Amino acid sequence: MQLLDGKAMALQIKEEIAGEVRQLTQQGHRAPHLAAVIVGEDGASMTYVANKEKSSKEVGFTSSVYRMSEKTTEAQLLETIEFLNNDPDIDGFIVQLPLPKHINEQKIINAISPEKDVDGFTPINIGRMVLGEECFVPATPMGICTLLKRYGIETVGKHCVVLGRSNIVGTPAANLLSRKGFDCTVTMCHSKTQNLKELCLQADILVVAIGKPEFVTADMVKEGAVLVDVGIHRVPDATKKNGYRVIGDVKHSEVDAKCSWTTPVPGGVGPLTIVSLLENTLKAYKRR
Ligand code: GUN
């Protein structure tokens, strides 16, 4: 079993981006600017946004975070988005999800200018992605693709089973991996899928984004499969200094031995997600 080491790969790609930003600023250009909007104080969201801010600064981007109260109204958030859409200093921005229940998430996403939608969540970018046109691809599936590509994993004609059909991961991942370039035969599974175990056992490449801790066990994985675990969950662990450890959607202690390649959790897909957001921001900057 070999590791798809997302942490090491993210470091390498960040160095590449930082080099490009250095060149641009040495030539007298301004640095790319990524902004993030966070509404409320959800712990996981605050961690994500802090990581995005840290990574942005590491590669030399300008980073700003708009922190808004849990009580923010939909109209106030729409106003902030309008401001960011029109601010010439900002190349791209994200609105951290989930949003508080009283705000219509899709309405907010729809208000983001497609040219600044570095998360690739707007209908225009999703439509362009499905048509194979130039677009911003959502960061997590883009990270999965980068990991498979840079490690030279054979994908052409392989059976790829994607567990999960979210708009952010499962659906775009299934689409991208079936397209020219990856050429997988893709099966997408979800909570209503029958014979889930039998389908997983057919997978040459198994992408797990189902959001359930250690859902995939050894009896569901074919010998020699490539395993990509997108899950990230905190579970209490008294032996750790911070009181918790991070686990994925796969029971790695029993599954990894069967795999040809596997992503660790943490340190697999996660670091590549942030790097993909940086890559999209650099692309937005260059377009402008
Ligand atoms: N919440 C969980 N993942 C993401 C992401 O990739 N982007 C945004 N905006 N919110 C998220």
Q: Which atom of ligand 1 is nearest to the CA of 36?
A: 9
How far apart are the CA of 143 and the centre of ligand 1, in A? 13
Structural element, H or E, at residue 221:
none
Are 59 and 21 within 8 A, CB to CB?
yes
Q: Which atom of ligand 1 is nearest to the CA of 277?
A: 6
The predicted structure's pLDDT at residue 240:
95
The yes-or-no answer on residue 52 being catalytic is yes
- The model's pTM is 0.96
The predicted structure's pLDDT at residue 252:
98
Residue 189 tokens read as 């599974």
How far apart are the CA of 96 and the centre of ligand 1, in A? 5
Nearest protein Cα to ligand 1, atom 6: 139
**Of the residues 142, 168, 277, which should be mutated to test ligand 1's pocket, given the most ligand atoms within 8 Å of the CB?**
168
Closest by CA to 147, choosing from 227, 201, 87, is: 227
DSSP letter (8 states) at residue 216: B
Q: Is the bond leading into 98 cis (omega within 30 degrees of zero)?
A: yes
Task: Please tell me if the CB atom of residue 117 comes closer than 6 angstroms to any atom of ligand 1.
Answer: no
The predicted structure's pLDDT at residue 259:
98
The yes-or-no answer on residue 12 being catalytic is no
Average pLDDT across each block of 10 residues of the chain; the chain has 288 residues. List them in order.
98 98 98 98 93 98 98 98 98 98 98 98 98 98 98 98 98 98 98 98 98 98 98 95 95 98 98 98 96
Residues in the chain: 288
Angle CA(228)–CA(232)–CA(237) in degrees, nearest 5?
Answer: 125
Residue 105 tokens read as 């998430």
Helix ranges, the chain (H): 6-26, 43-58, 74-86, 105-111, 123-131, 139-150, 170-178, 196-201, 252-255, 269-287
The predicted structure's pLDDT at residue 279:
98
The predicted structure's pLDDT at residue 173:
98
